[in-house]
Structure 1
Amino acid sequence: MQAAATDKHTRKPHTNVRWKIGILMWLAISINYLDRANLSAASGDIMKALNINNAEMGIVMSAFFWSYMVFQIPSGWLADKVGHRISMALAVGWWSISTALTGLAHGFGSLIGLRMLLGVGEAGAAPSNSGIAARWFPDRERGRISAFYDTGTKVGTAIAMPLIVWIISHWGWQASFAASGTLGIVWVLIWIWYYNDPEKQKYVSKEELHYIRSGQKKQDGLDKEQPMKWYQLLKFRNVWAICFGFFALNYSIFFFITWFPNYLEQERGMAAMSMGFTAMIPPLAGIVGELIGGWVTDYLYFTRGKSITFSRKFNLVLGMLVGTVILFAGLTKSTAISVALLSLSYAGLAFAAPALWSIPGDMAPKNMSSTLGGIENTASNIGGVLSPIITGFVVSATGSFVSALIVSGLVTLLGAIAFAFWLGKIEPLTLKKHDVAKA
């Protein structure tokens, strides 16, 4: 028997407020990645202006992830407690101000401090979005909304390269941070005006609200009840499996967000404007991969009637295996082939992402989707901490990106293995009776 596709409540309503909220989620993530990729696009100018070498710039790029990683779980917990209207406005406002202030950096130490300040704010975006998706979208649309808003990670990265290079060429690197910071403040004003939970949103129709809630096995946001403490989620094998797999995915994908422009300039000898446009290609391939991935995981589950475990793991394992081709990108002398391999790798990693961001809604206990999203994103950003540092030191030691890209490919392969064999049946997490008594 096919899944919920045959249910009488699957008829779509005339209003689509949930997808308008989805557009705001997408814009937030796009601005998020535009702001964090700003440093990467401007790194050459900043290194010259502030007299920073490759190894030091690797530490600066990593500094963002120190605070970003630490504040993932607190941000997810806060979002589930106070609601996503407040949590997203606070997160985007914080990081936008931090971005604008980055233009005031005057040396290695101040740049690290400002990047850590940015990470505190940006930590709230991903956990909040996973919770918003769980509240506002029926289960049958979870893969697609996860794919849609997460394409903002690629759009923000792609736009950042040519846009920031153009701004820097006209007004200097400081102006690029002021411009991207301003975008976030505008977004906050729109979000506060429009967003609320489904039952409180003034523009949603009764038919759309019924369509959303009747299509959810677990209905978040109707009350504040949480069946367990956040740290009790760490008792489950599946949580550790998705954490490791997400770590492996991020280790490779953050090469594109941090070192890829330098790779094109230093390893491939590209001029600034050529680099800016070439750096758009892998993220654009990632957008295609992610949209296909979101459609595939929902299609397998709701149209083909496959289990949620098969539907998610299909994306995860296949996407990560394709992502391993990053290790060959540095071995070819052809710039075109290298960029093609990197683009294929990015598309594979992006294909896996919708399943990863759907899993908090699939597995989290009631009203804990943002909390679980924060936990898995904490682990993923250990990859964000390590990747730029290791890459920076490997490049400084060898004078080449070849070894660094091989390491990324091997880490990605380990992630595929973890998703295939460590991750078990995907189902809601529940405590055993003796664990409930201790809670």
Structure 2
Amino acid sequence: MKNNNIDNRKTQVRWIIAAMMWAAIAINYIDRTVLSTAAPHISSEFKLTSGQMGILMSAFFWSYALLQIPAGWVADRIGQKKTLGFAVGWWSAITTITGLATGFKSLLGFRVALGLGEAGAYPSNAGITSKWFPKKERATVSGLFDSGSKFGGAIAMPLIAWLIVVVDWKWTFTIIGVLGLIWTIIWLIYYRETPEQHKGVNKAELEYIYQDKSEKKEDCDTTQPMKWYQLLKYKNIWAMCIGFFMINYNSYFFITWLPTYLVKERGMGLLKMGFAASLPLLCAMIAEIIAGWLSDRVYAKKILSLTATRKLFLIIGLVMASFIGIAAFAKSVTLAIVLLCIAKSGNTIAASQVWSLPGDVAPKNMTSVVAGMQNTVSNMGGVVGPIITGFIVGTTGSFVPALLFSAFLIILAILNYAFLLGKVERIDVKEKAVM
């Protein structure tokens, strides 16, 4: 009897998959953060202006944003195993050779190439979440894998600052790039497209995963019920895209201009800055995991509907995110960092819901496409954010107006999710689209 009980316990392969998804995003952000941490050294060596550095910081997002929808389409059509594996391998290879840059133009090329690979990460993870996890675990998983971005950024700041001091910025790119190449090998060996195909998944876990899915597990059809652009007929798709744009505009300050802000506006040295800049990201990582788990508990226990749960955590998180505007007026460095920790944590509380929404609303076989659409628009915030911040700082000589503008966008995001986002439910393509 004891052995039978053990045999009937569900396996936990899905959480190993979740851990690998988390690691992919952590590596993703470590790689994209190297430039901002090394920015003072790079700008000094190549004699780059603040405007040029702003362009370099945003260049990554040009290709990254534009390829979100194609990457999502490819992931849904050929599978997340190949798509994510190729993506991580590509961007890691680019990172290893970035140290060969000789000036502004070559750095610009490497940053655009980096974005080409990293575009596949989030759409693939959204699709994996939909395939491998029941609805009541999706916010937890979304918060978990997205928290890798904060861990990656947090680790990157002090680690990269230390590596730059020890081996210089060029070798730092090479060392960091190797991490992703190792991950790629492990992923291609271990991951399977569906739980049924994985030998480690037993019957109990399989039944648990599919307990509340509308599509049957035996249905392997990958046909998509509409073209990606037809999704634009739906109000919720617009709300998801607009809101995430404003969140990302705010969020990317922490991995682009924050190191420069702490050095120039707050007078920190490089190593001290590295640790201080990591604190908002570490706090945010913890907050996002807790928020994802807590929102799943609220929904699973039927305390609130799915719509009310998503909106509640989105708005709470965004109210906290608006503290970035208050941080602009902090008199002490310590208070400024505390307020920035609250602001970044609020961003990630909202993000735990943002990355659950594609799985909640996407039509069958289109979760990665919807995630790609959402992330395309959101990362336009990454394109314009560093440039606008650089322009404001260059024009006014201060970060205060730049931080206040970020807070203003967060207020707009609150209104968007409160009023434009409607009932959170799967789009039924048989029904008439509603705007």
- The TM-score, its normalising length taken from structure 1, stands at 0.94
The residue that corresponds to 2:197 in the other structure is 200
Give 1:13 shift.
4.0
The residue that corresponds to 1:3 in the other structure is none
Residues 1:128 and 2:124 aligned together: yes
Among 206, 213, 217, the residue aligned to 1:216: 213
Q: Per the alignment, in what secondary structure is the counterpart of residue 197 of structure 2? A: coil
Give 1:354 shift.
1.1
The residue that corresponds to 2:297 in the other structure is 299
Find the aligned partners of 1:182 and 1:193 in 2 and give their Cα distance: 18
Find the aligned partners of 1:249 and 1:22 in 2 and give their Cα distance: 24
Contact 1:73–1:378 (Cα < 8 Å) also in 2: yes
Give 1:14 shift.
3.2
Question: 2:107 is aligned with what amino acid?
Answer: L
The residue that corresponds to 2:41 in the other structure is 45
Give 1:305 shift.
3.9
Among 10, 15, 28, the residue aligned to 1:14: 10
Question: 2:314 is aligned with what amino acid?
Answer: L
The C-alpha deviation readout for 1:54-109, integer Å capped at 9, x for no partner, is: 11100100000000000000000000000011001110011001111211111111
Among 28, 45, 60, the residue aligned to 1:32: 28
The residue that corresponds to 1:67 in the other structure is 63
Q: Per the alignment, in what secondary structure is the counterpart of residue 306 of structure 1? A: coil
Q: Which runs of structure 2 are paired with 1:237-316 in the superposition (5 Å)?
A: 237-316=235-314
The C-alpha deviation readout for 1:96-126, integer Å capped at 9, x for no partner, is: 0111121111111111111000001000000
Find the aligned partners of 2:216 and 2:145 in 1 and give their Cα distance: 21
Give 1:296 shift.
2.3
Of all paired residues, the percent bearing the same amino acid is 48
The C-alpha deviation readout for 1:170-229, integer Å capped at 9, x for no partner, is: 111011110111000000000000000211112111211111112323458732122111
The C-alpha deviation readout for 1:368-387, integer Å capped at 9, x for no partner, is: 10000000000110111111
The residue that corresponds to 2:4 in the other structure is none
Find the aligned partners of 2:294 and 2:226 in 1 and give their Cα distance: 32
Give 1:17 shift.
0.2
Contact 2:363–2:429 (Cα < 8 Å) also in 1: no
Find the aligned partners of 1:66 and 1:378 in 2 and give their Cα distance: 10
Question: 1:343 is aligned with what amino acid?
Answer: C
Find the aligned partners of 1:331 and 1:218 in 2 and give their Cα distance: 52
Q: What are the ranges of 5 or more consecutive residues in structure 2 without an aligned counterpart?
A: 1-7
Find the aligned partners of 1:434 and 1:311 in 2 and give their Cα distance: 26
Give 1:298 shift.
0.8
The residue that corresponds to 1:426 in the other structure is 424
Find the aligned partners of 1:16 and 1:34 in 2 and give their Cα distance: 28
Give 1:397 shift.
1.1
Find the aligned partners of 2:139 and 2:260 in 1 and give their Cα distance: 34
Find the aligned partners of 2:431 and 2:141 in 1 and give their Cα distance: 35
Name the stretch that deviates more: 247-256 or 424-433. Answer: 424-433
Give 1:433 shift.
6.0
Find the aligned partners of 2:303 and 2:258 in 1 and give their Cα distance: 40
The residue that corresponds to 1:23 in the other structure is 19
Among 53, 57, 63, the residue aligned to 1:57: 53
The C-alpha deviation readout for 1:293-342, integer Å capped at 9, x for no partner, is: 10222122111342110011111111111111101111122111111111
Question: 1:209 is aligned with what amino acid?
Answer: L
Q: Per the alignment, in what secondary structure is the counterpart of residue 34 of structure 1? A: helix
The residue that corresponds to 2:95 in the other structure is 99
Question: 1:31 is aligned with what amino acid?
Answer: I
The residue that corresponds to 2:179 in the other structure is 183
Contact 2:91–2:115 (Cα < 8 Å) also in 1: yes
Q: Per the alignment, in what secondary structure is the counterpart of residue 172 of structure 1? A: helix
Find the aligned partners of 2:308 and 2:432 in 1 and give their Cα distance: 31
Residues 1:88 and 2:88 aligned together: no
The C-alpha deviation readout for 1:379-419, integer Å capped at 9, x for no partner, is: 11011111100011111111111110000000111111100
Question: 1:175 is aligned with what amino acid?
Answer: W
Find the aligned partners of 2:310 and 2:271 in 1 and give their Cα distance: 39
Give 1:289 shift.
1.5
The C-alpha deviation readout for 1:123-178, integer Å capped at 9, x for no partner, is: 00000000000000011100101111111010000000110011110111011110
Contact 1:13–1:211 (Cα < 8 Å) also in 2: no
Find the aligned partners of 1:101 and 1:65 in 2 and give their Cα distance: 19
Contact 2:22–2:145 (Cα < 8 Å) also in 1: yes
| Aligned residue-pair number | 424
- The TM-score, its normalising length taken from structure 2, stands at 0.95
Change (3 A) 1:219 1:176: farther
Find the aligned partners of 1:372 and 1:341 in 2 and give their Cα distance: 33
The residue that corresponds to 1:329 in the other structure is 327
Contact 1:72–1:375 (Cα < 8 Å) also in 2: yes
Find the aligned partners of 1:113 and 1:430 in 2 and give their Cα distance: 42
Compute the RMSD of aligned alpha carbons.
1.3
Contact 1:219–1:366 (Cα < 8 Å) also in 2: no
Find the aligned partners of 2:281 and 2:293 in 1 and give their Cα distance: 18
Question: 1:267 is aligned with what amino acid?
Answer: E
Q: Per the alignment, in what secondary structure is the counterpart of residue 147 of structure 1? A: helix
Q: Which runs of structure 2 are paired with 1:118-157 in the superposition (5 Å)?
A: 118-157=114-153
Q: Which runs of structure 2 are paired with 1:344-423 in the superposition (5 Å)?
A: 344-423=342-421
